[in-house]
């Protein structure tokens, strides 16, 4: 395992978590309609608890736990918010439409009708074109990296409205900085590059962590790669976008292009990060293994870590462009990664590429993920939960399979509850039973 850097962990985040928990437990007592007076009192109580928790929290004591957590710098040791980031809330466009994804095609139409629909939509699809804001993309990214000493360059992609970047997504970012306090995170997102997005990110920015939301320039990202031809086909309206929302497939392309242009680690927003990523180089993770051969049977692209300009990334982009199919879920994502790695076969070592076992990023498969949200009620369930907590010490991150788990309540005492307690900094309330 990677040895965690020795720092002292501030006590106030855990105190805040307890306060959040008490506050939300109080909601169960009040079943009547909210009144203005009640709302005012509630707001005042929340403000007082947050403010007093920040002022009076002292240093935490150290002790051994079943799952050793990487320590964090005390707040006084954290870097101040960097002025080079040019975060000025008055400069951010807050006129977010927050409407239904414009890249969701109509249902029950022919391929020809869908292509014609896409041609008509092209003039309003700013995401596929460069504009005044997106043209600042490369300069902002380079300034951010050049002015920060990043232990790891992380990326997330968020093409949904900023208002949907909720507590679960925040938890992914929160846990990332818990295990990688000196990392830099770029969130590639038009919607988060706004006043609303700034408000979402402010809790981690206020602690001095290095995060930047930036509007992407897709034409620049795919320039001089096989993805350039794919984008031109799309913009010319000569290629079927498929019935799957194009934003999903754009996310698949953008993550590879970002790492190809800048190097680093991409991670989806439905993870809990458990360990330091700084020693990972040129890796992808197997999702499943063949029990007979003990060889990987499928690869997932929810975590991708590569050096800048790595030739394997061009192979992924080429496969995306040449075999694009917008009518098959996962075809241009996990299945595409699997196809390329299967085709490369024995030549992968010459590319200096490592395929990690499922325990690295996918230690719990999507079928079992519900168990992590439930409080153990029997002795065997408690033993299973304790054993899993120990096993997760060997995992870099835990994929939560958001499509399966996003509506699940995190019950007190569940594995998820324990993981959040041990791997958060800001510790914003998520949701408990």
Using 50, 70 and 90 to split pLDDT, how confident is the model at 131? confident
Q: What pLDDT sits at residue 433?
A: 55
- What region, left, alpha or beta, does residue 407 occupy, with left being phi > 0 and alpha being psi -120 to 50 degrees? alpha
For residue 348, the 8-state DSSP code is: G
The pairing of beta strand 283-289 with beta strand 296-306: antiparallel
Q: 55-69, 338-352, 362-376: which has the minimum mean pLDDT? A: 55-69
Mean pLDDT of all residues in the chain?
A: 80
Average pLDDT over residues 216-232: 95
How far is 433 from 399, CA to CA, in rounded Å? 21
Where residue 300 falls (left for φ over 0; alpha for ψ -120 to 50; beta otherwise) is beta
d(CA 428, CA 413): 17
CA triplet 119, 120, 124: central angle to 5 degrees? Answer: 105
Q: Which residue has the higher pLDDT, 40 or 274?
A: 274
Q: Calculate mean pLDDT across residues 415-430.
A: 89
Integer-rounded Cα radius of gyration of the chain: 22
At residue 44 the predicted structure's pLDDT band, cuts being 50, 70 and 90, is very low
Q: Which of 134, 211, 125 is nearest to 169 (CA)?
A: 211
- Mean pLDDT, rounded, for 46-54: 40
Residue 217 has pLDDT above 90, yes or no: yes
Query: Given pLDDT bands bounded at 50, 70 and 90, which one contains residue 421?
Result: very high
Range from 128-132, 235-239, 339-343, 412-416 carrying the lowest mean pLDDT: 128-132
Q: Is it the case that residue 37 has pLDDT exceeding 70?
A: no
263 CB-near residues (< 8 Å, 6+ apart): 153, 306, 307, 308, 309, 310
SS3 382: helix
Which pLDDT belongs to residue 34? 41
DSSP code for 122: G
What are the beta bridge partners of residue 236? none
Helical (H) or strand (E) element with 186? strand 184-188
pLDDT above 90 for 221: yes
The pLDDT-based confidence of 102 (bands split at 50, 70, 90) is low
**Are 160 and 270 spatial neighbours (Cβ–Cβ below 8 Å)?**
no
Is the pLDDT reported for residue 321 higher than 80?
A: yes
Length of the chain equals 433
286 phi and psi, to 5 degrees? -70, 140
Q: Which of the four pLDDT bands, split at 50, 70 and 90, describes residue 278?
A: very high
346, pLDDT greater than 80: no
Which residue has tokens 């300034």? 143
Q: What's the rounded mean pLDDT across residues 189-206?
A: 95
Average pLDDT over residues 382-403: 95
pTM across the whole model: 0.76
Average pLDDT (116-144) is 85
Q: How confident is residue 215, by pLDDT bands cut at 50, 70 and 90?
A: very high
Statement: residue 211 has pLDDT above 50: yes
């Amino acid at each position: 395992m990677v040895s965690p850097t020795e720092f002292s962990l501030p006590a106030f985040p855990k105190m805040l978590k307890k306060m959040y928990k008490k506050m939300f437990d109080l909601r169960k007592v009040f079943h009547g309609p909210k009144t203005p007076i009640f709302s005012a009192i509630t707001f005042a109580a929340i403000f007082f608890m947050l403010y007093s928790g920040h002022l009076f929290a002292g240093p935490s004591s150290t002790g051994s736990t079943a799952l050793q957590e990487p320590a964090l710098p005390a707040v006084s040791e954290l870097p101040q918010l960097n002025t080079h980031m040019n975060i000025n809330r008055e400069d951010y466009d807050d006129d977010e439409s927050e409407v239904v994804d414009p890249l969701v095609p109509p249902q029950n139409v022919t391929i020809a009708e869908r292509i014609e629909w896409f041609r008509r939509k092209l003039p309003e699809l700013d995401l596929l074109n460069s504009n005044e804001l997106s043209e600042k993309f490369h300069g902002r990214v380079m300034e951010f990296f050049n002015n920060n000493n990043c232990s790891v360059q992380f990326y997330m992609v968020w093409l949904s409205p900023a208002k949907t970047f909720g507590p679960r997504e925040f938890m992914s970012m929160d846990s990332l900085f818990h295990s990688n306090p000196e990392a830099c995170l770029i969130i590639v997102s038009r919607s988060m590059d706004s006043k609303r997005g700034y408000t979402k990110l402010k809790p981690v920015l206020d602690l001095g962590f290095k995060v930047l939301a930036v509007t992407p320039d897709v034409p620049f990202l795919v320039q001089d790669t096989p993805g350039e031809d794919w984008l031109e086909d799309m913009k010319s309206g000569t290629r079927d976008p498929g019935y799957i929302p194009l934003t999903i497939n754009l996310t698949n392309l953008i993550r590879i292009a970002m790492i190809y242009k800048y190097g680093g680690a991409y991670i989806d927003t439905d993870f809990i990060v458990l360990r330091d990523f700084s020693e990972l180089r040129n890796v992808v993770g197997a999702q499943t293994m063949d029990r007979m051969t003990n060889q990987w049977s499928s690869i997932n692209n929810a975590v991708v870590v590569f050096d800048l300009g790595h030739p394997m990334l061009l192979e992924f982009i080429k496969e995306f462009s040449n075999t694009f199919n917008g009518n098959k879920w996962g075809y241009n994502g996990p299945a595409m990664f699997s196809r390329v790695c299967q085709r490369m076969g024995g030549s992968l070592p010459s590319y200096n590429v490592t395929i990690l076992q499922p325990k690295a990023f996918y230690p719990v498969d999507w079928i079992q993920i519900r168990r992590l949200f439930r409080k153990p009620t029997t002795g065997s369930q408690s033993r299973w939960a304790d054993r899993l907590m120990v096993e997760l010490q060997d995992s870099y991150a835990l994929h939560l399979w958001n499509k399966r788990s996003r509506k699940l309540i995190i019950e007190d005492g569940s594995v998820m509850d324990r993981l959040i307690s041990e791997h958060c900094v800001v510790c914003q309330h998520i949701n408990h039973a």
